[in-house]
Structure 1
């Protein structure tokens, strides 16, 4: 349940602002302020974000906390993404998997939290992913070979970044790098962020600062139109090496008897 209406009214009065003065500061109509405070309407994402910034709050605090004289703000931490995740649902109120194609990756950095932008993304569902929030990202390049360029990574939303596990792969959305699919080298660190690795060792590992990260999605599956090639026929050289290894193993067993 949203507490936006009561919170807006309390915060405005605590600052000693009239509805008109608050409307002027936020650059909206006074009638809209009244509608929000009387719970006849709710601010859209961008306006809610602007109001939260004005009061030095997170959007989550503004929307869900009961803000009154006894309220104390939660200590802010980069370990948890406190913004409201924008999702879409199907006719049975089940969350869709929204697809972010390569051509939409640049726009995603600006629109990831905008419900209208997310609603315009292609959508699909997979029966094995019916719990949690998922998004699909098309990847480009050879940094994560053998996964081919053009593969689609299906990721589960990670709310608390301290849940990120080393040596597993994630889609990381950041202000500087945009949308990348990488392997995480170490646990999330508040003071440093994430160290990311490419499976293709040609690429050097690098750090993404905590303050630059906006979303993290744990890779759960991938979709590719490139089918795997059959294993090559063994050569005389590989057969010889296999026989030598087998002989070494047998000799080791005999010697230990």
Structure 2
């Protein structure tokens, strides 16, 4: 991690951020940030991940490469001298969870309800409407493969007149007056067949007129994979610390 301090100092200079402003972005004390920059202290893994994700820089580059200003400018188009807040440039996507799913079915068309939903921010640059959904069942799981509980999907809103453009077999999130369903979509005439990956679950049949909202799934985020990546990063961080200790002794 010998380059971490140098790199965050260069990032601050590129972004025109004071130590205090940079520290507040990541809920750090100014003195703690100063210790990082001067190499007197090593950051927690959580802090490293936050900074890397915020500026769209790989953890490996942030820790092991001495970044130049030119490299920093190439990482993200708006990582410029103008001090644009990268976090604010990402859309805030309302998210459906097991805690609000029942209420969402009732109030999905109420703007005030949608505004109060928890939100996630991902680097999507288009202006389309998206909805996040945290999976809470095993309907799209088949023999430990597929989507598991706590995985997340992001769906793009589809207008009623465009339902016929959806290809059979696409994964959709559908809202009716009584339920919210995440399954594969098949359309024949005015009848929609919603099919689970779990073969023990029967197909669900709907008329097009029963659909209140339809979100075509565009992105999936597997919690298991994310946990595995964090575990790998923790091991790499530990090995890096041990290597630096050994290097100092030599």
TM-score with structure 2 length normalisation? 0.49
Structure number with the higher helix fraction is 2
Larger radius of gyration: 1
